[in-house]
Structure 1
Amino acid sequence: MKQLVIAEKPSVASDLARVLHAKEKKKHYYEGKSTIVTWGYGHLLTLKMPEDYKKEWKTWSMDTLPMLPKQFLIQPLPKTKGQLQAIRQLCQRKDIKEVVIATDAGREGELVARWILQYVRYKGPVKRLWISSQTDKAIKEGFAHLKPAKMYDDLFYSAQARSEADWLIGLNVSRALTIQYGDQLSAGRVQTPTLALVRKREKEIESFRPKEQFTVELSYQGHPLTSRKPLVFSKKETAEKVKAQLQKETAVVKEKKVKVKKQWAPLLYDLTELQQVANQRYGFSAKKTLNLVQSLYEHHKIVSYPRTDSKYLPTDLESSMKERLQAVAKEFSLSGTILQKGKVQQRKVFNDQKVSDHYGLIPTEVAPNISRLSQDEWKIYQLITKRFLNLFYPPYEAEEQTFVILLGDQNFQLKQEKVLEQGWKEKEEGVSSLHLSLNQELPIQIKVVSSMTKPKSRLTEGQLLAQMEKHHLGTPATRAEIIEKLVNIQYLERQGREFIVTPKGKQLLTLVNESLVRPELTEEWELHLQKIEKGKEKKEQFIQKMKKEATRLVTEIKQSEKEYKDFALTTKKCPECSGRLREKKTKQGVFYVCSNPECHYKRRKDLKVSNHRCPQCHKKMVIVEGEKGAYFKCQSCSLTEKIPDKKAKKQKMTKQEERRLMKKYSEKAPAENPFASALENFQVQD
């Protein structure tokens, strides 16, 4: 009898098959003596579309809204039917004793596998592989301690609830908005309040009015003096008057306070903080960081599971710390003392109560092969590993000296630090230390500095992730996808490292239901999903609530009297139906598309530049759409050329033809004159 193992991706299945000795490769699976390993391509199934429930739901009409299926059904994705059928046949084999779910150990991974088993109607025993790294050691230990799949039923119900809630809110509200305002508008349970967070910051910037302010700054030998109430004034005259008064006074050291402060290393990265730091330091998008750390986990096997929301480690992992240190010792030049001890100094990191499904990001016991990592992968690996290594160092300790300086009748403070133990912190270049005694008189430098008040900056991707985490919008695994979707549907645009809301995005926020814009409502829904995952709430109760919400939201849109202006609509006319053309941005460039839903006219806004060179001026030619089809045109000399048919293009030379030509041209040609002939027969005599 055999185990059937279901992995999430072919690459993971390949690794599992190697470790489990399933060496016989088939089209849809690997097979060994006791194990068969098959795979998905992420999701193989999805929730059915409205028209699959009722024929009348195919028509986009207010009369059919809200759409509330009595029971949600799943269907195969078009390109995955072959793999799904293969898994069905494997599940029906008489030699299969049990199925092992080996998809990603998280909410969506659970949904991938459970939907497959539900669709193929598998009724046999099911176990769960739950591991936080993809090393051979972790896989072997995981299979030695498989858990009953029933332990993760609540995780599956939470994933189901998330998927069905997004269907109910997203499809109903998006349809209602599109029908009401005559343009393709999209709203969602998480994406809309996320967009609103960016717009909220923009409104703060737009309403900001800069003001000139004047600050009286005091310093002694480059060390600033501070006071509880900053000396900031709206009028220059006032600031100059205060400066003149202070200059008449003598500064005297009246008190010295000494305090030793201890600062332990920060805890490990969870995915959200890693994405924030990578965005701030390297300008990486959340999606790019997730892809990089996923590659380090899945392909290189040198970091733990990436989609984690924890910064802590379970206590039973402490025994593996020395082995992980040895794996990174060479690349990070670790000292012998740390390697020998291998003991974590920052004890707070071990906390079983604060480890959810997965622990914080740490390197595995596999030594990195730097030559196989891309530059960006190496940057992310360094961030994760350095944060991990800091745990093994003692705390940073410094003696903080605070001098109280009396100037007239006002007290000012001068602070400086004397490092006692560098600990985990890197050395910093600091201002030279001062040696002051009580009642010492100090020559203070005083100046008035003029400045303009500045608004807050636009939200960067890292700051948006922090806001999403604060309001419980999405999960570490889904936040990057939500941001990318808002960019792809042209509600958000990246401007350098910052986000701006497009005119269409601004309009959507004025048209969509006010309650859906506020993050508090979605935050409440996300907390319900977490309760379902922990078994504290029933999925059915949450879905009933979502159905009521969908009904309320659709009714509000139907009754709305707001107006919509399509900023993408141009004054250009469609040559086929005379309808107005709308600008549409795609990955291939900007296109004009007809606004008439019955018409399918489409053309580029700007001519597409090809790699084909003009035979006359050798500049790249553009592709022009004419009545008889597309053709090349040179914009410099107006020369035109027909685009050759693909079949007419020259075929690639075969190796046989290449050898024949080489033989032909390597044969000696007859000499062209007697002198050349004589040279051929000439031999040097010793």
Structure 2
Amino acid sequence: MMKSLVIAEKPSVGRDIARVLHCSKPSGGALEGDKYVVTWALGHLVTLADPEEYDKKYQKWDMATLPMMPEKMQLVVIRQTARQYQTVKTQLYRKDIGEVIIATDAGREGELVARWILEKAGCHKPIKRLWISSVTDKAIKEGFAHLSDGRKYQHLYDAAVCRAEADWLVGMNGTRALTCKHNAQLSCGRVQTPTIAMIARREQQIRAFQAQEYYGVQIQDEQIRWTWQDEKSGSYRTFARDRAEKLLGDLKCRQLTVTEVKENKSSVLSPGLYDLTELQRDASRMFGYSAKQTLNIMQQLYERHKVLTYPRTDSRYISKDVAETIKERLRAISIGPYKKLAGSLIMQPLRLNKSFVDDKKVSDHHAIIPTEQFVQMEKMSTEERRIYDLVVRRFLSVLYPPCIYMQTSLKGEAAGQNFAAKGKVMLDQGWRVVYDRQQEEEDDREDGLKEQNLPSIKKGDHREILKAELTRGKTKPPAYFTEATLLSAMENPVKYMDSRDAQMVKTLGETGGLGTVATRADIIEKLFNSFLMEKRGNEIHLTGKARQLLSLVPEDLKKPELTADWEMKLSRIAKGEMKRDVFMKEIDAYTREIVEEIKADDGVFRHDNLTSHKCPVCGKRMLAVNGKQAKMLVCQDRECGHREVISRVTNARCPNCHKKMEMYEKGGEKTFICKCGYKERLSAFQARREKEGAGVSKKDVQRYLNKQKKEAQEPVNNAFAQALAGIKLDK
């Protein structure tokens, strides 16, 4: 009897599928049953070959060998996971395997993981596709009951290959050209470089900003605070101090007459379901989590706990068929803090509307929502509970009615000038009950008016002015990017485009901006790890290396328009509207163009972070760099690659100012140092914590120190770290 081989993307998902399909017999890195054999990848097992695989001349990084343009891109097995590849290949070539079922993540990259394995193995058996958005038992069973013909996803695979090959050609050639030209470890790419350019533009705006002092006038009657409003512009401020002071003088011993009373009943819908970027933004803003950290937590909630749906989604809507399962999902989350909230929804007809149920706005995956899986919150970490809580409350909120309030706007006249006030009375909390007052209302907008409790008042009333005062402030520069705001800018980079081409703007809106919902977190981490960005508190700042890089990179690579153009064409390839060869010919020509531009450029790169410390391995001066969580010394010679951790940010809090302290090591002694000046040796810290009953064991400390050591030994650089290793340059 012929069997089907199921290839999952990760072991955890593979084992879940095997359990549902009753495959319990171990079989050489797989689990076997009567009808199915289930095996798995470990993410990508196969990747595009490095340049030296095509020709030995590429082993030496030399400008004369550029551009590198292989006639046909080759695939290689990733060395670290070669054993697992052989396991999958062995299963593929079993004589009793009649077909392959691709059960990798349902998306462009997931398709690539499986198809590259099949291509490298030379397997041409019939293919079917499992396409599911959660890994609960129910979703797996339904998915296997509705498998698709694998040929249906051929165009999606074509788009994935084009994206990978184009990034290889542009990234490898651009990076080698910059590195050879300037003898410094420089890299470029069509997503990372425009991201740096956006940060640079924001920093330029901040540097160029000149604060201006502005003035206003406020008056107080017995119950209401009124704010002066310019009759012509409608603004609540003026930059002319003498004008504000004259108005203040005119207001002495005067009355205000109420000229207008407007009452509007307003209803506000819930903010909407989460996609990954919105969730990463909120997690950064509320808990300080990085985009990568949030994605990793989400993966655990999706794969291990199975309580949330697929995280890598750019949709904030669910389809009608998913909407039919809402009551089951509500029953699953009817625990602890959500029991009462979910229970009241289960007992009544659901409010479904286009604000969150819309088939047309669901692409590969719907919004992130809870699954039908029973929840065991006691088995979650604190971080997992926080992210789970965000998703569950957002899911509950869309099912509750709108928040309804009465907005009252007042206008008055005194001394021939206009004054305004506003207030709000909540009539029905609606979806806000879900948040237990956790969510702050965004009432104090830039209109300068603050909400206040207003008395009963009518047009024509006279109010005695008890007090009048001059207010003042200064205009503020744009804020530095944080991870949350950088994610927003990457998702919608239109304002950073030089071109105002309508089609480009439209394309960037449709394709989701710079990078994809699945890759933005990795791109941000890559920029930190290659020392192009550093964190100061929550703020992101460019390093001198990044600013120099921008002056050396071809202009096109700095623009979001390039990604817009690529993603538009990749989308057309995925739909079968554009041929793969046509796109790759354009990439070929573009790659040659940027290499020639870098060769001809007369710019110069200089290390601006050299220290007096000599590398103990090669003797060259070392560079001082700020990693995301550590300060380091890194050898300037890329062939050497030696680095030393000087200090690392810890979770230990200063007893004086309660901020996180840094750990420094000198002469074998580890010491905590805080920015406020507080110092404490590790031994004294441990003794103090034990005395306070904090329960920090020697085992915990050793585990932490081992983690530090391991991190210090990991490669400093980005995805090109292996490619950069062992390079030889003409001096």
TM-score (normalizing by structure 2): 0.80
Deviations 1:542-571 (A, max 9, x none): 222112111111111111111211123345
- Partners of 1:620 and 1:49 in 2: CA distance: 38
**1:203 aligns to what?**
204
Give the superposition deviation at 1:157: 1.3
Are 1:566 and 2:607 matched, yes or no? Answer: yes
Query: Number of residue pairs matched?
Result: 614
The verdict on how the C-alpha distance between 1:130 and 1:503 changes in structure 2, with shifts beyond 3 A counting, is: same
Among 323, 333, 336, the alignment partner of 2:339 is 333
**2:699 aligns to what?**
none
Instruction: Give the AA of the match of 2:419.
Output: F
The verdict on how the C-alpha distance between 1:217 and 1:75 changes in structure 2, with shifts beyond 3 A counting, is: same
Among 422, 428, 441, the alignment partner of 1:415 is 422
| 2:127 and 2:149 in contact (8 A); partners too | yes
| 1:292 and 1:376 in contact (8 A); partners too | yes
The verdict on how the C-alpha distance between 1:269 and 1:581 changes in structure 2, with shifts beyond 3 A counting, is: closer
Are 1:500 and 2:509 matched, yes or no? Answer: no
**2:370 aligns to what?**
363
The verdict on how the C-alpha distance between 1:235 and 1:621 changes in structure 2, with shifts beyond 3 A counting, is: closer
Deviations 1:378-424 (A, max 9, x none): 11111111111112211112222222312243333322222222211
**1:642 aligns to what?**
none
| 2:622 and 2:633 in contact (8 A); partners too | no
- Partners of 2:254 and 2:155 in 1: CA distance: 71
**2:707 aligns to what?**
none
Instruction: Give the AA of the match of 1:402.
Output: S
Give the superposition deviation at 1:362: 0.7
Instruction: Give the AA of the match of 2:189.
Output: G
Q: What stretches of structure 2 of length at least 5 have no aligned partner?
A: 442-450, 494-512, 649-663, 670-680, 682-731
**2:558 aligns to what?**
517
- Partners of 1:288 and 1:607 in 2: CA distance: 22
1:19-38 to 2 correspondences below 5 Å = 19-38=20-39
| 1:268 and 1:361 in contact (8 A); partners too | yes
Are 1:302 and 2:323 matched, yes or no? Answer: no
- Point out the more displaced range, 7-16 or 579-588: 579-588
The verdict on how the C-alpha distance between 1:592 and 1:86 changes in structure 2, with shifts beyond 3 A counting, is: closer
**2:484 aligns to what?**
462
- Partners of 1:506 and 1:139 in 2: CA distance: 49
The verdict on how the C-alpha distance between 1:412 and 1:31 changes in structure 2, with shifts beyond 3 A counting, is: same
| 2:49 and 2:74 in contact (8 A); partners too | yes
* RMSD of aligned alpha carbons: 2.6
| 1:216 and 1:446 in contact (8 A); partners too | yes
Q: Secondary structure in 1 aligned to 2:76?
A: strand
- Partners of 1:584 and 1:233 in 2: CA distance: 45
- Point out the more displaced range, 50-59 or 299-308: 50-59
- Partners of 2:255 and 2:157 in 1: CA distance: 72
Give identity over the alignment, percent.
41
- Partners of 1:303 and 1:161 in 2: CA distance: 31
Instruction: Give the AA of the match of 2:460.
Output: N
Instruction: Give the AA of the match of 1:557.
Output: I
**1:402 aligns to what?**
409
| 2:630 and 2:645 in contact (8 A); partners too | no
| 1:322 and 1:342 in contact (8 A); partners too | no
| 1:582 and 1:595 in contact (8 A); partners too | no
**1:88 aligns to what?**
89
Deviations 1:556-596 (A, max 9, x none): 11111112111233455567876544456778863453638
- Partners of 1:214 and 1:414 in 2: CA distance: 17
Q: Secondary structure in 1 aligned to 2:430?
A: coil
**1:276 aligns to what?**
281
The verdict on how the C-alpha distance between 1:26 and 1:622 changes in structure 2, with shifts beyond 3 A counting, is: farther
Q: Secondary structure in 1 aligned to 2:94?
A: coil
Q: Secondary structure in 1 aligned to 2:139?
A: helix
| 1:4 and 1:37 in contact (8 A); partners too | yes
- Point out the more displaced range, 177-186 or 55-64: 55-64
Give the superposition deviation at 1:311: 0.6
- Point out the more displaced range, 65-74 or 205-214: 205-214
**2:242 aligns to what?**
237
**1:593 aligns to what?**
635
1:64-103 to 2 correspondences below 5 Å = 64-103=65-104
**1:312 aligns to what?**
317
Among 464, 473, 485, the alignment partner of 1:443 is 464
Among 371, 393, 399, the alignment partner of 1:392 is 399
- Partners of 1:453 and 1:607 in 2: CA distance: 37
Give the superposition deviation at 1:323: 0.9
| 2:228 and 2:236 in contact (8 A); partners too | no
Instruction: Give the AA of the match of 1:95.
Output: D
**2:725 aligns to what?**
none
- Partners of 2:641 and 2:157 in 1: CA distance: 44
Q: Secondary structure in 1 aligned to 2:667?
A: strand
Instruction: Give the AA of the match of 1:539.
Output: R
Are 1:424 and 2:461 matched, yes or no? Answer: no
| 2:254 and 2:464 in contact (8 A); partners too | no
The verdict on how the C-alpha distance between 1:209 and 1:254 changes in structure 2, with shifts beyond 3 A counting, is: closer
Q: Secondary structure in 2 aligned to 1:233?
A: coil
Instruction: Give the AA of the match of 2:667.
Output: V
The verdict on how the C-alpha distance between 1:602 and 1:117 changes in structure 2, with shifts beyond 3 A counting, is: closer
The verdict on how the C-alpha distance between 1:185 and 1:254 changes in structure 2, with shifts beyond 3 A counting, is: same
**1:110 aligns to what?**
111
Give the superposition deviation at 1:197: 1.2
Q: Secondary structure in 2 aligned to 1:357?
A: coil
Among 433, 438, 441, the alignment partner of 2:454 is 433
**1:549 aligns to what?**
590
Q: Secondary structure in 2 aligned to 1:93?
A: coil
Are 1:348 and 2:359 matched, yes or no? Answer: no
| 2:190 and 2:562 in contact (8 A); partners too | no
**1:254 aligns to what?**
259
**2:690 aligns to what?**
none
- Partners of 2:134 and 2:541 in 1: CA distance: 37
- Point out the more displaced range, 374-383 or 559-568: 559-568
Among 518, 530, 554, the alignment partner of 2:571 is 530
**1:650 aligns to what?**
none
- Partners of 1:167 and 1:87 in 2: CA distance: 26
| 2:216 and 2:228 in contact (8 A); partners too | no
Q: Secondary structure in 1 aligned to 2:206?
A: helix
TM-score (normalizing by structure 1): 0.85
Are 1:128 and 2:159 matched, yes or no? Answer: no
The verdict on how the C-alpha distance between 1:128 and 1:451 changes in structure 2, with shifts beyond 3 A counting, is: same
| 1:574 and 1:580 in contact (8 A); partners too | yes
- Partners of 2:301 and 2:105 in 1: CA distance: 15
The verdict on how the C-alpha distance between 1:596 and 1:77 changes in structure 2, with shifts beyond 3 A counting, is: closer
Q: Secondary structure in 2 aligned to 1:386?
A: helix
| 1:269 and 1:360 in contact (8 A); partners too | yes
Deviations 1:89-125 (A, max 9, x none): 2111111111100001111111000000111111111
Q: What stretches of structure 1 of length at least 5 have no aligned partner?
A: 609-618, 625-634, 636-686
| 2:29 and 2:87 in contact (8 A); partners too | yes
Give the superposition deviation at 1:601: 8.5
| 2:624 and 2:631 in contact (8 A); partners too | no
Give the superposition deviation at 1:446: 2.7
| 2:14 and 2:40 in contact (8 A); partners too | yes
Q: Secondary structure in 1 aligned to 2:405?
A: strand
- Partners of 1:166 and 1:347 in 2: CA distance: 37
The verdict on how the C-alpha distance between 1:74 and 1:224 changes in structure 2, with shifts beyond 3 A counting, is: farther
**2:326 aligns to what?**
321
